[in-house]
Chains A and B, each alone.
Chain A
Amino acid sequence: MLDGVSLAMDAGDAMLLTGPNGAGKSTLLRVLAGLRKPDSGRILWHGADAFEDRSMHARHIAYLGHQEALKPGLTLTENLSLFARGRPLAPALEAFELLELRELPARLLSAGQKRRAALARIVLADAALWLLDEPSLGLDARAVERLGEALALHRRTGGMVIATTHVPLPLPEAGALALPGAPLEAAIDGAWGAAGAWA
């Protein structure tokens, strides 16, 4: 699906992945997260190969997929506490204006509120690299603004962001990587080569 992709990032950098549906944006994010093994190529974190020890690599990663990964029967607090590791929940909830909803079961939340909860988990993870798959999906203008603030704060403190999107994101001075959307033949025998070197 992907071939000849190469990118490198430094502390505070941001990167936007764009391209048509099916170009492999989400796949690239999953590979970067260490969830999916590339056919060939490497992901390096400070020179260490991510696929040598995926659990170690995972500690640097906060990943937002298409799904919010919320259990409908648990409250917002209970849903997120697994990812808190002893850190306080309030600042992450506050960042997305979820404090009043924290004792509500996730099944009562609207689609936008669930997305905000998933974003709160990203903030909570306290990871250096945020991998966000269409983070603004279903968010209202105000929530997009809060997302922008969270992204800016993360980058100011030395964090990195890679996001896929079809709409403009509040991510100033972000690098861009456009995936062309490979033709079918290339997808069948295309090898995946990523050489990433994050400082």
Chain B
Amino acid sequence: MIAIFWAIVARDLRLALRHGADTLGAVLFFILAGALFPLALGPSPELLRRMAPGVIWVCALLAALLPLDRLFGAELEDGSLDQLLLLGLPPSLVALAKITAHWLTTGLPLLIAAMPLAIMLGLPFATLPVLLAGLLPGTLILSLLGGMAAAIVLGARRGGVLLPLLVLPLATPGLIFGAAAVDAARTGLPFAPDLELLLAFFAGALPLAPLAAGAGLRAAAE
């Protein structure tokens, strides 16, 4: 069972490598959207430094949404979803495998791209570890919630429009705690509580999101 789980992850990674533009698209969107803020707000270092945590988190949230539409959509269209469900794996584990692949191809690159973006926006080096420590569970949460929403809207007409409407409200707690942690670190306040709340959110999403996603996949295959 574990072998099949990782076989699905490996297949998705291979697909992501073959269609590199999709993977790169999310990261480039992240960097470009982040780079627009200094242009729009003016080059005041103090303003940018204050806005940087929020900007990075919002951009990461939006960028993670981009590939979600195809996460299960492509599988449904070409009949692969039936074959995945017939592998003998519970549908929630099939969903978790796809979510893992989404994180490895989108969340992890965003995490890495967040560093140059943070430096560009003038965030002090000392706060970088806090930013990354928040973005690690943060991107995982985004993949879990996004995968769940993508499976639920699967088969719905105009599901791509519904997706952000479902994910964005659910992701707001992550956004609040993640950005607050960096803000706290920047102003010298304790940031651990925010990170802990973020981890608690992740601990809740990890078992629940794949279950809901699995039910969504079953319903879409009906």
Contacts and interface: CB of A to CB of B under 8 A. Distances in A.
Contacts of A35: 82, 85-86, 221-222
Contact of A78 (B8, B11, B78, B82): B11
Interface bin, chain B: 20 to 34
A36 B219 CA distance: 9
A69 B18 CA distance: 17
B90 to A, nearest CB: 5
A73 B15 contact: yes
Contacts of A58: 85-88
Interface string A44-75: 00000000001110110111011111110110
A35 B4 CA distance: 19
B90 A65 contact: no
B18 A74 contact: yes
B172 interface: no
If over half of B's interface residues share one DSSP class (helix, strand or loop), that class is named, otherwise mixed; here it is helix
B83 interface: yes
A121 interface: yes
B15 A71 contact: yes
B19 interface: yes
B98 to A, nearest CB: 12
Interface bin, chain A: 20 to 34
A102 interface: no
A36 B222 contact: yes
Nearest to B16: A73
A73 to B, nearest CB: 4
Contact of B78 (A30, A62, A67): A67
A165 interface: no
Contact of A63 (B14, B15, B83, B90): B83
A33 interface: yes
A44 to B, nearest CB: 18
A66 B11 CA distance: 22
A66 B79 contact: yes
Interface in B35-76: none
Contacts of B82: 30, 33, 35, 63, 65, 69
A61 B86 contact: yes
B7 interface: yes
Interface in A109-125: 121
Contacts of B15: 71, 73-74
Nearest to B8: A82
Contacts of A63: 82-83, 86
B91 to A, nearest CB: 8
- With most chain A CB atoms within 10 A of its CB, the pick from B15, B86, B91 is B86
A55 B88 CA distance: 4
Contacts of A30: 82
Interface in B79-120: 79-80, 82-83, 85-91
A162 B4 CA distance: 26
Contacts of A62: 86
Nearest to A86: B3
B83 A121 contact: yes
Contacts of B87: 58, 82-83
A55 B95 CA distance: 14
Interface of A: 30, 33-37, 54-56, 58-59, 61-63, 65-71, 73-74, 78, 81-83, 85-86, 121
Given A55-B91, A74-B14, 19 more contacts: A30-B82, A33-B86, A35-B82, A35-B86, A37-B222, A58-B87, A63-B86, A66-B79, A67-B78, A68-B78, A68-B79, A69-B79, A69-B83, A73-B18, A74-B18, A78-B14, A81-B7, A81-B11, A82-B8
Give me the 6 closest cross-chain CB pairs, A-B, nearest first.
A67-B79, A73-B18, A69-B79, A59-B88, A69-B80, A58-B86
